[in-house]
């Protein structure tokens, strides 16, 4: 077994592809971004200042975050799978994820999870920080307009009242924050396969990655 690490900007389809790859390979998918979302949700619920690193770290430290194999996420025993997908939590996650102390805490958890191999992890610093020794590294991107439409459709289908223009502006803002933060910024590492998903279907992306794995002789 190997580990597959997928990085890329928000709404580029990382989690969707990671889930499909995990299913195809019989691996376990770990949505690392959901962990930051969980911390942000807890901070919001406790009225914690999202610009206060110490306060956010304290929340992260005492929060029992559990990722299930079915894709659900629990915080302190409560299923927050739907709650962490709101726009407010997305923006909050981008803020708390810039803090070194919070990142170090969650990165340690992520590394321990993946130590046994057979995992597909997606996020923004998986190839560069969390699993720099992953056997397969993917950098997945897409045009921001397409990403905004995907996020709009996803949230609308889930019953959220959202505005496309606002989502577009927030994605641009988040890209800027994620790529330029001082701690573990979003980058494409030299040995990552870059896939632009703007005009590709989910199946096409999955097939590209599977072909890449097979071409390198890494398939079991």
Please choose, from the candidates 7, 33, 10, the residue with its C-alpha nearest in 3D space to the C-alpha of residue 147: 10
* pTM: predicted TM-score of the whole model, two decimal places: 0.81
Phi, psi of 182 (to 5 degrees): -75, -30
Could you give phi then psi for residue 78, rounded to 5 degrees?
-105, 135
Q: Cα 173 from chain centroid?
A: 17
Per-residue pLDDT of the chain (220 residues; tens, 9 = 90+): 899 999 999 889 998 999 999 999 989 888 888 899 999 999 999 999 999 999 999 999 999 998 887 778 999 999 999 999 888 998 899 899 889 999 999 999 889 889 989 999 998 889 999 999 999 999 999 999 999 999 999 889 988 889 999 999 999 998 998 898 887 888 999 999 999 999 999 999 999 999 999 998 887 5
- Tell the CATH topology of 3-209: Rossmann fold (3.40.50)
CA atoms within 13 A on the CB side of 112: 6
Contact 43, 88 (CB under 8 A): no
Distance of CA 116 to the CA centre of its chain: 20
Give the span between the Cα atoms of 218 and 220, in whole angstroms: 6
Beta strands in 8-150 (DSSP E): 28-31, 65-67, 73-75, 78-79, 119-123, 136-141
Q: Domain ranges in the chain?
A: 3-209
Dist CA 56 CA 44 (whole Å): 10
């Amino acid at each position: 077994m190997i580990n597959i690490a997928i990085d890329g900007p928000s709404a580029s389809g990382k989690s969707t592809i990671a889930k499909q790859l995990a299913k195809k390979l019989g691996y376990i998918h770990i949505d690392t971004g959901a962990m930051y979302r969980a911390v942000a949700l807890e901070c919001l619920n406790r009225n914690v200042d999202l610009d206060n690193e110490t306060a956010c770290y304290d929340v992260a430290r005492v929060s029992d975050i559990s990722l299930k194999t079915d894709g659900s996420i629990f915080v302190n025993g409560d299923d927050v799978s739907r709650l962490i997908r709101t726009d407010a939590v997305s923006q909050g996650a981008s803020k708390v994820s810039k803090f070194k102390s919070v990142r170090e805490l969650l990165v340690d958890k992520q590394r321990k999870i993946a130590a046994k191999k057979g995992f597909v992890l997606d996020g923004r610093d998986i190839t560069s920080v969390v699993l720099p020794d992953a056997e397969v590294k993917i950098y997945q991107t897409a045009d921001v307009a397409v990403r905004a439409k995907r996020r709009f459709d996803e949230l609308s289908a889930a019953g959220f009242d959202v505005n496309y223009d606002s989502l577009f502006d927030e994605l641009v803002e988040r890209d800027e924050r994620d790529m330029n933060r001082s701690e573990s910024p979003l980058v494409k590492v030299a040995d990552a396969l870059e896939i632009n998903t703007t005009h590709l279907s989910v199946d096409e992306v999955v097939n590209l990655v599977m072909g890449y794995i097979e071409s390198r002789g890494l398939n079991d």
